[in-house]
Amino acid sequence: MDINRFRRLPLLGILRGIRAEMVEPLVETIVSSGLQTIEVTMNTEDAPGLIQRMVETARGRLAIGAGTVLSMEALHSALDSGATFIVMPVLIPGIVEHCAANSIPVFPGALTPREIYEAWTAGATMVKVFPSGFFGPRYFNEIKGPFAEIELLACGGVNTDTIAEFFSCQASAAAFGGSVFRKDWLEQGNFSSIQASIEALIARIPERFRRTAS
């Protein structure tokens, strides 16, 4: 993962519970939408195989990572499958330390000020504030008061109604999952609705990101 490229279009899609036959149409849909960064959660059946297949299908057009990484075993499995960044719902120091030591972007989850600070000082690339939806966008302004240098990724409650406010309240990036990669759309093969939803999210992030993304 090129973290500087991600900062130019700081939007992360989360895939959970997908199947192998969905990979190719999903990759083409995601690329066509303009999204550049996607993760497959490790609690998805055969996540390592899906990540490998997605990497092969994307052929460098997407940054593909692993989410819900909760053990060193899962970390190594994800990396061996071609994941180029790691996301967690909580801070697991050993995982963050390994990623930081090996220049692998890592996004541990945290919520309270103490948790956010500990995740950042452990070596987080950005701290995933999860679940963001419960505290809302203005929580980010409060956190950035004492922690101006900490980069925050909003995860939870991100949609077309809230995404602009998350960025205006100093989120550095935002993540979305089931609100766009809906189970019914995936099962129906309704990839056009998925693409339209991603495009709508991209259209609502600040123009400076959309202008500099390439």
Domain ranges of the chain: 3-212
SS3 content of the chain, % helix, strand, coil (to 5): 50, 15, 35
Tokens at residue 179, please? Answer: 């609100």
pLDDT in tens, 121-145: 999 999 999 999 999 999 999 999 9
> 3-212 adopts what CATH topology?
TIM Barrel (3.20.20)
* CA–CA gap between residue 113 and residue 22 (Å, rounded): 38
Instruction: Tell me the three state secondary structure of residue 77.
Output: helix
Instruction: Indicate whether 214 pLDDT > 60.
Output: no
pLDDT in tens, 152-198: 999 999 999 999 999 999 999 999 999 999 999 999 999 999 999 99
Distance from the Cα of residue 69 to its chain's centroid: 13
Is residue 163 exposed (0-12), middle (13-18) or buried (19+ Cβ within 10 Å)? buried
